[in-house]
């Protein structure tokens, strides 16, 4: 029997942890696109298990070809993107085994993706796994837990939905224009990071904007929609815009796409200060201590450290070339032994 996913009058969603591990605030993720919430707001998990579970019931609406990212849509319409690790798209599926396919209905706790944590840790930037809401306009508030969580058991994220979100027709008047063919230069295509940059650039414009790949079309202001196009390196795409600033949108976004959206391995893109290339590539700022009694460490990824800290200093011992009398030297030795004791 196939269950139909229908919209429910639910004001709160309580999501169970998709992995066991340590919760990490999304702002601390060492990837500016996630840390600046360009993809969406949410939380990260430093995993201790190797099965990504469904945090809520829903439909699989996006599964990346590299199997490192999956999105489910809940019956309430919330889109949850789960991204295993950082820069894992470059593994091209190695270390990942999907257990679902596009269009599958899943229940809370179902296995979505199995992954080899040892392999990923050795070949990717980080194992930190992000869970973000990509359509945050449907969420009034978000609360997350902290500390360690157990997969499939602990509630790690609670969403309060915005009021009734009826189907509002967004009327945008103005001209319609379309770009010429654009060849995508990104080494791994439009995965989550460049897709998020494109979405944030597109949101500056009032016009409706779409990205075309062949006979497929996606809303250029939706990360999930862009990921669903599965645009790879060298693919040819076109942009379409309709609205009062359509021409400006097409001109700016065409140049951004051609130059790689600021991603390494592609030509730099001129972007607004909020998502400039230097900010995208720069590491998260490290706090500095002005107190000599406080030591600040630099971690590869935020987590928990348990134990004692010790301050190591090198002591310079000066020894006189010539000694004093035996009696004086003995008194110095006895004083030193007493001080050491």
List, by residue number, the catalytic residues.
83
DSSP state of 229: H
Half-sphere exposure of 192 (CA within 13 A, CB side): 33
Helix-then-strand count for the chain, H and E: 7, 19
Q: Could you give the CA distance from residue 253 to residue 112 in angstroms, rounded to a whole number?
A: 34
- Location of structure tokens 């196009």: 229
Name the token pair of 261. Answer: 């959206």
| DSSP state letters, 100-163 | --TT-EE-TT-EEEEE-HHHHHHHSSB--EEEEES-GGGEEEEEE--SEE-TTTSEEEEEEEPS
Q: Where are the alpha helices (DSSP H) in 203-266?
A: 223-229, 246-258
End-to-end alpha-carbon separation of the chain, Å? Answer: 80
Strand partners, 237: 182
């Amino acid at each position: 029997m196939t269950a139909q996913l229908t919209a429910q009058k639910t004001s709160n969603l309580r999501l169970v942890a998709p992995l066991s591990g340590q919760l990490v605030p999304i702002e601390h993720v060492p990837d500016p696109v996630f840390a600046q919430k360009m993809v969406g707001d949410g939380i990260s998990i430093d995993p201790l298990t190797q099965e990504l579970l469904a945090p809520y019931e829903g439909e699989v609406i996006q599964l990346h070809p590299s199997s490192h990212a999956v999105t489910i849509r809940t019956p309430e319409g919330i889109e949850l993107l789960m991204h295993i690790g950082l820069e894992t798209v470059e593994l091209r599926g190695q270390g990942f085994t999907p257990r679902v396919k596009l269009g599958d209905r899943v229940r809370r706790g179902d296995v979505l993706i199995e992954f080899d944590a040892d392999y990923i840790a050795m070949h990717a930037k980080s194992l930190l796994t992000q869970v973000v809401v990509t359509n945050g306009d449907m969420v009034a508030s978000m609360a997350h837990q902290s500390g360690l969580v157990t997969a499939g058991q602990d509630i790690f994220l609670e969403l309060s939905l915005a009021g009734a979100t009826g189907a509002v027709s967004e009327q945008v008047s103005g001209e319609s224009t379309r770009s010429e063919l654009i060849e995508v230069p990104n080494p791994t295509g439009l995965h989550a990071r460049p897709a998020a940059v494109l979405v944030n650039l597109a949101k500056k414009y009032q016009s409706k904007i779409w990205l075309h790949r062949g006979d497929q079309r996606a809303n250029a202001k939706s990360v999930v929609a862009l990921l669903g196009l599965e645009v790879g390196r060298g693919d040819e795409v076109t942009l379409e815009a309709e609205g009062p600033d359509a021409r400006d949108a097409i001109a700016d976004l065409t140049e951004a796409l051609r130059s790689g959206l600021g991603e390494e391995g592609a030509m730099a893109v001129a972007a607004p200060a909020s998502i400039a290339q230097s900010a995208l590539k720069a590491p998260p700022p490290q706090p500095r201590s002005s107190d000599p009694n406080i030591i600040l460490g630099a971690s590869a990824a935020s987590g928990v450290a348990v134990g004692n800290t010790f301050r190591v200093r090198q002591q310079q011992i000066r020894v006189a070339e010539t000694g004093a009398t035996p009696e004086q030297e003995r008194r110095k030795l006895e004083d030193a032994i007493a001080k050491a004791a």
